[in-house]
Every structure is written in structure tokens, then in C-alpha cells.
Structure 1
Amino acid sequence: MYYLELERHAWKDALTGLYNRRYLTKQFEDHPGQTGAVFFLDLDGFKQVNDVFGHETGDIVLQEVAQRLRQFVREQDDAMAVRLGGDEFILHFGHADSRERWERLAKRIVTSLSEWETDYRVSTSIGIVIYDTEFRPELKVLLQQADVALYAAKSSVKNTYQFYEQANK
């Protein structure tokens, strides 16, 4: 029992219960040769929630976001949700799919994370990078690419998504 508790602390984020960066790195190293996609999410308006409503409310928002991301993970094969820290999350999908299907999923996630029955307004921006077995860079590179796409999404209108290829055109 003690070992399982230690393992949970090593691989999971304490606040949200999602996997942490360490777990994502290990899974990526343990499963080379996959195809898939990385969705890098950053919450829009989260700083204002903490500033106006307090950090306790901010924690509640992060837990609710985690719960919503878990629903998307359950719908997919070989998927995981990760909290990198603060208001940054990763959805990793270890399977191939068409760009159109990734777009539909991204739209659903953006919609899900922008609908709140509260006084605060939070939404999300997403940077997406797709990779395959032919060109599968290291996780660090994929996260950097997804971050570039995320920055492009946040720079445009926020509450949207951007693919890495589009971010560089």
C-alpha cells in the first residue's frame, strides 16, 4: 500500500490528480515508434480568476478543467492528460488520426473549456503538433513545437487552437 502511495505521488499532480511531466516523459521513452498528437493547452483568463476570486477558486477551476480533460481522454485510444504546472496542460494521443478529426476534437475541447456557469470567464488556447513514426522528434522538441503553435493561438484571438505547421507559415 505504501509503495502504491509513493508511486501515485511520483507520477500524479497533487492538485488535479492528472499525470505529471515526469510520467509523460517516461511513457514517451517507454513507447518509441508511436504516431500521435500533442495538444498543449493554456487557460485564458486564469490569472484574473486568481487575482479577483482568490487562489482557492483558482484551484477549483484547475480541478474542473482536469475533470473535463479526463472525459476527452476516456473517449480516445491511448490518450493521457497531464498537468505541466500552473494553468498549462498536455493532452497526448498515442495514435494516428486525420487532421480533420484532430480539428474536431480541438473544437470540442475549446468549447468545453469556455462554458462556465460562474462569474469568471476562463477559456483555453491550444497548440497542436502531430507526429508519426517517420518523423518523431523527442518529447522536448514536440513540446517546444506545440508551445510555438500555442503562442500563435494566444496571439490571434485566444480561445482557439493552432496547428504547428500553420504557426510557421
Structure 2
Amino acid sequence: MRFNEYGLLAPEDYAMTFSELRESILVKGEENSLLPWDGYWRKRLVDNLEICVRQLWACGIEEIFIDGSFCTDKYQPNDIDGYFLPPDPAEIMDGTLAMRLNQLDPYQCWGWERQRFDEYGNLQLEMWHRYRVELYPHCKGVYSGIPNEQGQNMKFDEFFRIDRDFLIPKGIVKLVKG
């Protein structure tokens, strides 16, 4: 795994356990790189991510992907973004999954409505405020809120595989149990 000339991962899905993620360039940086790198902050983000992902795994959710600035050569990413594929999309729509996840989370931060502002005036998920992680469900009828080149609302699996300018395909990490 390496960053390309745009500071992105080459377009593919990189299956990684948490142990592998902690040893990867995403946490440790590239060898012999002259770029500054905040490995301490990145490790802390991964520790927080692991809390959230273990809660998803406990609810039977196996397919979890992460991306965002964490999966780039940015010195200090603001957070980790990602999405997951729920086995039963109806549990997203009726709130059952958020309720089950909140029974596992001591801060009850699961839910997908942005209700609190960050220090820059942006509305963020409660999970972001606690963990600096945003994990969204990807299922029929749930979209990113970001339009693609055709003006259509993108699904998360489409949105996460292209750069923020919607020009360059990029790779993402698929988390696997280890």
C-alpha cells in the first residue's frame, strides 16, 4: 500500500485487520517521507474507530469501509469517515439498529442526524463529537447528500471511492476481524 502522486491510495479495497491498520502507512506514514506526520493522532483515531466497529460487529455487521482524509497523506486528518452494509436495511429505517448500538455504547452516540455544531460551525454526528468517527449505513434509500456529475445523490459506496473534487478514483480500507 502506497500513496499515489495525489496523496491518495490507488483505487481498490484494502482488506485490513486493526493490527494491520495500526502498522500501515495510514498510521505510521511512509518510510523515508519528508512529509510531517501525526502518527499519535492517527493511532488515537484508530483506537476510537475500533470501539465503534466492535459495536457494529456485535450487531452482526461485517462489511465496514473507511476513508476520508484519514486514508490520504494529510498530516493530521480531522476524523475517520466510513460506511457499513447492514444485513437488514429495515433496521436503519425504523431505528432498531441505532437503538441496539446505543445499548452497547456508553455514550449512546449512534444515530445519523447531525444535531450539534463543531468548532467551525458545521453540524456533526454525535459519534463524531465523542470519537471523531463517522460511520454511515449504506443501503437502498440512504444516500450521502452529495450530488455526482449528473446531479444525482451519490450512494456511500460511490462517494467514498472518489476524491473530494469528484475527479480521481481512490482506494478505501475494508475492515476485517483479525
Q: Tell me, yes or no, whether TM beats 0.5.
A: no
Category of TM-score, reference length = shorter chain: 0.3 to 0.5
Larger proportion of strand: 1
- What TM-score does the superposition give when structure 2 sets the normalisation length? 0.35
